[in-house]
Structure 1
Amino acid sequence: MFGLFGKKKILKSGLLEGMTDIHCHLLPAVDDGAENKDEALQALRLMESIGVQRLFFTPHVMEELTSNRADFLQERFERFCSEQPASIELRLAAEYMLDPAFSERRKEGLLTFNGTHVLVETSYLMPPLGFREILFDLQAEGYQPILAHPERYRYMSPEDYDWLFEHGIALQLNLMSLAGTYGPSPLRRAEDLLAKSYYTFIGSDCHRRDVYERSLQHLKVSKAQLKALNLLVENNKRLAQ
């Protein structure tokens, strides 16, 4: 039941039951996410307890993380799955920073969700040189770019979001943005983009169990927002098929 102010707690909404989460940093010791297996497993147990059924590890791939190549991440993922089996179905993709090293990573082969959809990000403060051209090039090569957490990019204007949507760039909402975890500006942008139906996918972007849990405990959504979020959850499931 929706409360006095027309909002419902996300944990009581049923949204997360059976969910496929397409964005997290829980592959241990490869980026700024889970530091070890214990941290990763604690987060996975929490996700399982609230209904998450399938999870994509999406470790950062960027210039400064020189080891994070596709082969290395695949080996670490397979080792984690063999040593620490989890009830949640685990899959591997990656979150690619559109930095000077990206063209080389692209030549090596990208870790995608389904062979075509690839998660990308930029600096929060400024776009990469030739940002739109990079996205066009990916599309020309048969990829479908998914731009991670666009609500968090301070440099973006409403016109930028319009352009991305109009040119077929899928946008992925960070669920925790709606909890205000990243501050009031990303919250306002997330609410606006969700109301405009600009998002295609949704992910937690979970790095730490405690932040994830605290955000979900505080997160409440309106009936209209819940309806929009359910559409994104369904898109996530199709992405994993």
Structure 2
Amino acid sequence: MFFFKKKLLPLNIFFPEDFVDIHSHLLPGIDDGAKNLDDSIALIQKMSFYGIKHFITTPHILGDVYPNTPKIINNKLKLVQAELIKRNITDISIHAAAEYMIDEKFIEILEQEDNLLTLKDNLVLVEMSYYSPPLHLYDVLFKLQIKGYKPVLAHPERYFSYHKDFQSYYKLKNAGCLFQLDLLSLTQHYGKDVQKTAQKLLKENLFDFVGTDTHHSEHLNLLETISTPKNLKIIENLLHNNKRFLKE
């Protein structure tokens, strides 16, 4: 029996020029992403080879697990930017925001801090527990918007509690959430249920943006498998939507 490999497009053709990856973990040593500065640069260079040259990287801000602050994140960003210059890597644009976990700590941050780290303008990347949404989720989303922010919900396809309650996705959209697809959800990396939910959300046109959610080289190796003509047709408009995040 013969097995035919799916035809893949080169990633530097799959990703449009000026594509901006708005979800990754490329800053060294502050969450479960890049371990050190060399690791950061290696990930960025590999993504550059794929045609991704613009980044708004998003380290976790997650309670006491990853208690990052804007100061910590911006200091790490400066280290990476300086190292890129030192190595004469001049075709990369990297900025930083954050991936905020919606929990009690986030409520404190929202009440105490004047400025959240945004992807651009007022857009804030948020996430929640995969297994149980916060009890006061909609109150938090309302407060976020009252303060002038627009929530971008990271990887909604990965929230297992909504897989059998698809109407909740419409409720989240009606509550003002934009949706960001993790590109690896096009594969079975996170499981078949996540893949199926991603496909259904795509069919219903509920996604607004995409992100790689890169943490390590294994993610990038798997990213190479998504670039089929079929996938490009399905998400091409989303890939182009990400251009709005280009920094001026």
Higher mean alpha-carbon deviation, 89-98 vs 104-113, is at 104-113
| Correspondence for 1:104 | 108
Of the three residues 174, 198, 223, the one matched with 1:216 is 223
1:66-105, CA deviations, whole angstroms, 9 ceiling, x for partnerless residues?
Answer: 6401112111211221133343210111000001100222
Q: Is the 8 A contact 1:10 1:216 kept in 2?
A: no
In 2 relative to 1, CA 104–144 (structure 1 residues): closer, same or farther, beyond 3 Å? same
Q: What are the within-5 Å matches in structure 2 for residues 67-78 of structure 1?
A: 67-78=67-78
User: Normalization by structure 1: what TM-score?
Assistant: 0.90
**1:160 matched residue in structure 2:** 168
What's the offset of the Cα at 1:158?
0.4
Q: 1:1-241 counterparts in 2 under 5 A?
A: 8-9=7-8, 11=10, 14-18=13-17, 19-65=19-65, 67-85=67-85, 86=89, 87-106=91-110, 107-108=112-113, 109-156=115-162, 157-213=165-221, 215-221=222-228, 223=230, 225-241=231-247
Residue identity over aligned pairs, in percent, reads 36
Partner SS for 1:145: strand
Q: Flag the 1:75–1:230 CA change in 2: closer, same or farther, 3 A.
A: same
Q: 8 Å contact 1:201–1:232 — kept in the other structure?
A: yes
- Separation in 1 of the partners of 2:42 and 2:224? 17
Count of residues paired in the alignment: 235
Alpha-carbon contact 1:11-1:216 (below 8 Å) kept: no
CA distance in 2, matches of 1:55, 1:71: 19
Q: Give the aligned residue type for 1:148.
A: A
* 8 Å contact kept, 2:209–2:239: yes
Q: Please tell me the residue identity of whatever aligns with 2:145.
A: Q
Q: 1:10 to 1:199 in 2, by over 3 A?
A: farther
Deviates more, 1:11-20 or 1:82-91: 11-20
- What secondary structure is seen at the aligned counterpart in 2 of 1:9? coil
TM-score by length of 2: 0.88
Instruction: Name stretches of at least 5 consecutive residues in structure 2 with no aligned partner.
Output: none
Q: Deviations over 1:155-205 (max 9, x none)?
A: 112011111223331000000110211111110011111111100010000
Q: Distance in 2 between matches of 1:104 and 1:115?
A: 22
